[in-house]
Amino acid sequence: MIDAKEVVKEMCQRYSAAVSANDSVAYGKLFAQDAIRIPPGLDPEHGPEAILQSEQKDYDVAKWTCKSIPLDALRIDDEWVYGVAQADVDTVTYDDAKTKSFKAYKTWLLHQEDSGEWLIKRQMWNIKS
């Protein structure tokens, strides 16, 4: 039987590493082929390619640093986990070195793929400044 808390903890580590490296390719690899990411106030993004392209737009204007902290995990069955995480995010813009810090609360529907890897099927979040 899977440990849902460990699955979410590992995803937090992988997520933080990709964002803090400003690596949109690594970020896109966190998502399943049929993933949907729903940014606050924007249209849903479908699939890892669209998601990484959107993420790259953020990395083009600022250096991002992220620490994701698992808050809750629910095992749905052996292949599905629902997770909630807090992301402490800092950005520094390239053009004027303006800094910004905020918290984002992420919800993930995670699926264990045939390869055994856990990937994000759905992601939604909100931001608290």
pLDDT in tens, 39-71: 999 999 999 999 999 999 999 999 999 999 999
Q: Which residues pair with 89 in a beta bridge?
A: 66, 102
Check: CB of residue 48 under 8 Å from CB of residue 35.
Answer: yes
Question: Model confidence over 70-115: pLDDT tens digits?
Answer: 999 999 999 999 999 999 999 999 999 999 999 999 999 999 999 9
At 93, which CATH number? Answer: 3.10.450.50
Judged by DSSP in three states, 68 sits in strand
Structural domain range at position 88: 4-128
CB-based contact 108:85 (threshold 8 Å): yes
Q: In the structure, what pLDDT confidence band is assigned to residue 1 with cuts at 50, 70 and 90?
A: confident
Domain count, the chain: 1
